[in-house]
């Protein structure tokens, strides 16, 4: 699921990516995959878009940070997590530093990134595909992650 919210001076793009079918755990307030896999929540801030009817993520780098501003990947834990489902259940990774890069393609976007998580391990992420955003006004809720099987 992807959502877009117009902000005061910067716009907010909220993205949930998943490696397969997902379920929502209302007790822990988190998404996770039905089987082995991952769900990643991302919140980006960028310059305001000209076309509110079809917002697109501006190309470039987004650095993990706490202050909303153009080119910032939000470090707020409720919108910046990776849930991994494996043989030991669901684990949560919280990025503490890193960056994501977005490039537009004919079919959507290529997102690449590297981050250091709270467990002091470095992780790499890649997504290739479409991301279509729905304008949601001032507030927004992600209701279903985008399934990504690669």
Instruction: Name the more confident of 79 and 63.
Output: 63
Tokens of 91: 């684990």
Backbone angles phi, psi at 39, to 5 degrees: -130, 130
Residue corresponding to tokens 């993520």 = 57
Does residue 106 lie within any of the structural domains?
no
Average pLDDT over residues 44-53: 82
Does residue 17 lie within any of the structural domains?
yes
pTM, full prediction:
0.83
Q: Residue 117 burial by CB count (10 A; 0-12/13-18/19+): exposed, middle or buried?
A: middle
Does residue 89 lie within any of the structural domains?
yes
Least confident of 5-9, 22-26, 52-56, 60-64: 52-56
Question: How many domains does the chain fold into?
Answer: 1
Does residue 103 lie within any of the structural domains?
no
CA distances from 71 to 24, 36, 139, 142, 143 (A): 29, 32, 20, 21, 25
Residue corresponding to tokens 């099987």 = 149
Q: In terms of residue numbers, what domain contains 43?
A: 2-94+129-136
Does residue 27 lie within any of the structural domains?
yes
Q: Residue 1 burial by CB count (10 A; 0-12/13-18/19+): exposed, middle or buried?
A: buried
Does residue 121 lie within any of the structural domains?
no
Does residue 88 lie within any of the structural domains?
yes
Does residue 60 lie within any of the structural domains?
yes
């Amino acid at each position: 699921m992807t959502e877009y919210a117009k902000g005061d001076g910067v716009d907010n793009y909220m993205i949930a990516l998943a490696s397969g079918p997902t379920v929502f755990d209302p007790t822990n307030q988190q998404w996770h995959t039905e089987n082995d896999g991952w769900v990643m929540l991302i919140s980006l801030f960028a310059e305001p878009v000209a076309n509110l009817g079809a917002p697109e993520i501006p190309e470039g780098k987004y650095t993990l940070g706490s202050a909303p501003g153009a080119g910032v990947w939000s470090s707020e834990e409720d919108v910046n997590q990776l849930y991994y489902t494996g043989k030991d259940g669901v684990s949560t990774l919280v990025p503490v530093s890193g960056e994501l890069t977005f490039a537009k393609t004919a079919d959507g976007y290529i997102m690449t990134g590297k981050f250091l998580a709270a467990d002091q391990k470095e992780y790499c992420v890649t997504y290739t595909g479409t991301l279509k955003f729905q304008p949601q006004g001032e507030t927004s809720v992600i209701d279903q992650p985008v399934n990504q099987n690669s």
